[in-house]
Amino acid sequence: MDLSLQEFWKQTLTIWGSGGWAMYALAADAFIIFYMGFSIFSRIRAKGYLYVSEKKMKRWIKAPEKGRGPVGKMIRFVMGARDLDEIGIFFDELNQTEIAPVNRDLKVMQTCVSIAPLMGLLGTVTGMLSTFAALAGGSGGDKTMGMVAGGISEALITTETGLLIALPGLIFQYKLAREHAQYKAFLAHLQTVCSQRIYKETLKKDAA
């Protein structure tokens, strides 16, 4: 078992190595995709907005000092407003700090995902070039055949890797975009509820 594992690992290294330099680029690209993905995921999930129900939210808005967690902090921040104009400004600021960085990271991730197959294609082209160079310059012996085979395997492996990375990356990115949209919807809902609350308070104050 140990020997076969070792054998498998050796084979793995050969397969990775046959892709040429494009494999390094693909590995870096894949790492960026998944690192970005996880950091976006953990940042959105760390807000804990999924655990704040409608009732809890209304309660926290009524008494901001009771709010807990990031959502409670946000409510405390926006409920410091005295009128509708102010709460609009506060929410703009909140969007700037909460939504914009995630948007930016999502864009980076999206770019990396769409780059992956292109990088594979680039590896294919260089592999084919080396194949043809071997065919043109070789004398047709074993060495030439080895070079041709190496070029072809580089061409195919890089394409395979690019697609293999792009597929889960695409799904992951889609999932994150959905999550982010949910979070944005939550913030928009929070803004409506808080604005209504402030509006009612100002009406009461005017009446008094």
Partner 1 sequence: MEPFAKFLKQLAQQSANVAMGGALTFSFFMLLPILQVITQPPAKDLTIRTVDVANVPPPPPPPMEEEEPPEPEPEEPPPPAVDAAPLDLSQLELALNPGDGGFGGGDFSVNIGAVAGNGDEVDAIFSLSDLDQKPRVVYQPAPIYPPELARKGMQGTVYVLFLVDRNGRTKDLKVQKSTHPAFNNPALKAVKQWKFEPGKRKGKPVQFRMRVPITFQK
| Least Å from the CB of residue 65 to partner 1 | 19
The residues binding partner 1 (CB under 8 A) are 8, 11-12, 15-16, 27, 30-39, 42, 46, 157, 160-161, 164-165, 168
- Which two structure tokens, joined as six digits, stand for 135? 């065919």
- Rounded Cα gap, residues 162 and 114, in angstroms: 10
| Least Å from the CB of residue 126 to partner 1 | 18
CB closer to partner 1, 59 vs 101: 101
| Least Å from the CB of residue 174 to partner 1 | 16
- Rounded Cα gap, residues 136 and 41, in angstroms: 51
| Least Å from the CB of residue 175 to partner 1 | 13
| Least Å from the CB of residue 40 to partner 1 | 9
| Least Å from the CB of residue 205 to partner 1 | 37
Phi, psi at 67, each rounded to 5°? -60, 140
What single letter denotes the amino acid at residue 166?
A
CB closer to partner 1, 37 vs 151: 37
